[in-house]
């Protein structure tokens, strides 16, 4: 009789049902990954924030690394309200930099260094510039500077041509 009483008092755990065990494992994995994402966003926010001094950044990073769960939660409570604003400001700044780069590149006439080198090679082949002038102009193009419209004009006086 005591055997029947022990059997009816036995409790079932979630891991007694395989599908429920998989659900709990996936839930814990998801929560762990979400916490890691939040930790990396906080580290990025700390490093990106221009209002914090170097010591404040070091303090927040040490707090989040040494006491990760507590550090993340305290940071979110203390500075979480402005995290989105700082991220949006950074995205806008990156977009403005990209747009400025595109405008600068488009204003350059679309000629790249390959086109510049081909043009210089044609000028040298016609005999308008010497090999030394070609070499100097090629170095300018490869270093990212544009050569003068007539590369030889930098070495010759204006009345020479």
- Cβ neighbours, 10 Å, residue 64: 20
Q: What is the pLDDT of residue 13?
A: 65
User: Quick one: angle between helices 68-79 and 18-48, nearest 10?
Assistant: 60
Inter-residue contact 140 to 154 (CB < 8 Å): no
The residue whose two tokens read 């403005």 is 96
Least Cα distance to 136 among 122, 120, 125 occurs for 120
What is the C-alpha to C-alpha distance for residues 155 and 148, in angstroms, rounded to an integer?
Answer: 11
What is the C-alpha to C-alpha distance for residues 106 and 115, in angstroms, rounded to an integer?
Answer: 15
Q: What is the pLDDT of residue 111?
A: 58
pTM above 0.95, yes or no: no
What is the C-alpha to C-alpha distance for residues 109 and 146, in angstroms, rounded to an integer?
Answer: 12
Tokens of 155: 């070495």
Q: What is the pLDDT of residue 153?
A: 46
Using a 10 angstrom Cβ sphere, with 0-12 exposed, 13-18 middle and 19 or more buried, the burial of residue 92 is: exposed
Q: What is the pLDDT along the chain (161 residues), one digit of tens a residue?
A: 555 555 556 776 656 677 887 888 899 999 999 999 999 999 999 998 888 899 999 999 999 889 988 998 999 899 888 888 888 988 999 999 998 888 887 776 555 677 888 888 888 888 888 888 888 888 888 887 665 555 444 444 444 44
């Amino acid at each position: 009789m005591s055997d029947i009483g022990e059997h009816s008092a036995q409790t079932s755990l979630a891991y007694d049902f395989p599908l429920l065990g998989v659900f709990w494992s996936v839930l814990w994995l998801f929560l762990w990954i979400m916490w890691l994402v939040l930790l990396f966003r906080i580290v990025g926010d700390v490093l990106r924030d221009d209002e914090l001094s170097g010591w404040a950044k070091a303090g927040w990073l040490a707090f989040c690394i040494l006491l990760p769960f507590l550090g993340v939660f305290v940071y979110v409570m203390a500075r979480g309200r402005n995290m989105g604003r700082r991220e949006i400001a950074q995205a806008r700044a990156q977009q403005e930099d990209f747009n400025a780069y595109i405008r600068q590149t488009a204003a350059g006439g679309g000629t790249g260094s390959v086109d510049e080198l081909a043009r210089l090679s044609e000028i040298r082949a016609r005999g308008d510039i010497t090999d030394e002038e070609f070499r100097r102009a090629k170095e300018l193009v490869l270093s990212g500077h544009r050569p003068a419209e007539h590369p030889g004009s930098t070495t010759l006086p204006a009345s020479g041509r």
